Structure 1
Amino acid sequence: MRFSTSILTTALIAGGAVSTVHAALPKANEYKSSDCSGALNYGHHSAFLGDVTMDDSSHSVYLAGANWVGFSDKTSNGGKCSGSALTVLQGECNNLDTAHPGKRIKCVRNID
């Protein structure tokens, strides 16, 4: 009985750790709205999230789980960030059209 209780306790602790790690994964979710409201346009959520190109129809991005920098250009959809590093973006919702005066953010990079 003692052995099976130890195994169960270890499994529960490990399960909790996995849930905690999953919640902290980098996220960059795109929305057509300017304030991250409404339906998700494109969702990005992965432990390996690096450069995330913004679709031309997206106007805001919800960022979490990492530190992010917005870039002025992208090599292609699904490609890499290029151009100038414009600004460090805060967590949560960022308007792609107004987060940096005079320039639209076309790509975000996880700098962690």
Structure 2
Amino acid sequence: MTTPTEILIVWCNCPDHATATHLASGLVKEKLAACVNVLPAVESIYHWENRLENATEVPLMIKTTRANYCQLENWLQTHHPYTIAEIIATPVTAGLPAYLNWVRTATAENI
């Protein structure tokens, strides 16, 4: 059963490091995320507009709550340069209780 205080990790790929840090900072500033990790660049291979694409992207690992997810998704869609941004959320099923409580507290103003 899901609850508004359930912790989620949201994944989002960005075209470059500058975009990734801009989005990460905005999400934390808006209190939509407690923390965003800007990860090292990865190689992404995918189909787009009937072509096989190969791109270097910078992933974001975003920690938030289910209650903030819709606002976070909307914010990313508004600020992300991709036509269709990769925004995928997965629930956290276990974690250090003090850390999970910190995520809830750090994003509570938006609930």
Fold agreement, TM-score > 0.5: no
Larger Rg: 1
Give the TM bin, normalised by the shorter chain.
Answer: under 0.3
TM-score (norm: length of structure 1)? 0.25
TM-score normalised by structure 2 residue count: 0.25
